Chains A and B, each alone.
Chain A
Amino acid sequence: EPEVTQTPSHQVTQMGQEVILRCVPISNHLYFYWYRQILGQKVEFLVSFYNNEISEKSEIFDDQFSVERPDGSNFTLKIRSTKLEDSAMYFCASTSLQANTEAFFGQGTRLTVV
């Protein structure tokens, strides 16, 4: 069964450093998403991406965040200057269509900022 894969599974970084979280969505999917879950809280939407551009973003997705699809398979989330409060689980998801379709989630990257 096709799946969304994320790397790394766990990333520890020092405050102020840049991190890149990587995702390989399902190959024939067109819409890509990043979600964030701070420990013990609910999963929150960050950004959606379609046709090589951001289609929607939340208030959380400020200037320190960026997304990119550098090639035909990878979808990345970059955090430019990490803060302690960026520590969270980050999930990538993809869908074949934007509406009325199931979202498939990766296993997540646990980011710890020290």
Chain B
Amino acid sequence: GIQVEQSPPDLILQEGANSTLRCNFSDSVNNLQWFHQNPWGQLINLFYIPSGTKQNGRLSATTVATERYSLLYISSSQTTDSGVYFCAGNSGNTPLVFGKGTRLSVIA
């Protein structure tokens, strides 16, 4: 099945800094989603982005499907951005496969 690699595994940022999180896939995917897991464990859906670029406030994401990767950009980071960011993808009728996540800590 598809393998999903996320980098970096851990990231510490000063408040106000920008960051880029990366997700690589071992094979082509039809679906790709980014999630933020908050301190209470809830998965917050950030983007559904099988291809192209989307923006939502300070967050944006780009997926280059032909090269099997996606990037999540966080600009002007805030302490509330802390948590674990997961990407997940699938192809055809297979279930979503998650990466191991990037643990982001934003310090004031």
Contacts and interface: CB of A to CB of B under 8 A. Distances in A.
Interface of A: 33, 35, 37, 41-45, 48, 56, 89, 91, 93, 98-105, 107-108, 110
Interface residues on B, range: 20 to 34
16 contacts: A33-B96, A35-B98, A42-B100, A43-B98, A45-B95, A45-B96, A56-B94, A89-B41, A93-B96, A98-B93, A99-B92, A102-B33, A102-B45, A104-B45, A108-B43, A110-B41
Contacts of A91: 43
B39 to A, nearest CB: 12
B75 interface: no
Interface of B: 30-31, 33, 35, 41-43, 45, 48, 50, 86, 88, 92-101
A33 B98 CA distance: 14
Contacts of B48: 102
Nearest to A37: B41
Contacts, number: 52
Main secondary structure of the interface of A (DSSP, over half): strand
Contacts of A105: 35, 43, 45
Contacts of A100: 30-31, 50
A23 B99 CA distance: 24
Nearest to A107: B42
B42 A101 contact: no
Contacts of A98: 93
A103 B92 CA distance: 14
Contacts of B94: 56
A43 B87 CA distance: 10
Given A104-B45, A107-B42, A108-B41, A42 B99 contact: yes
Contact of B30 (A41, A89, A99): A99
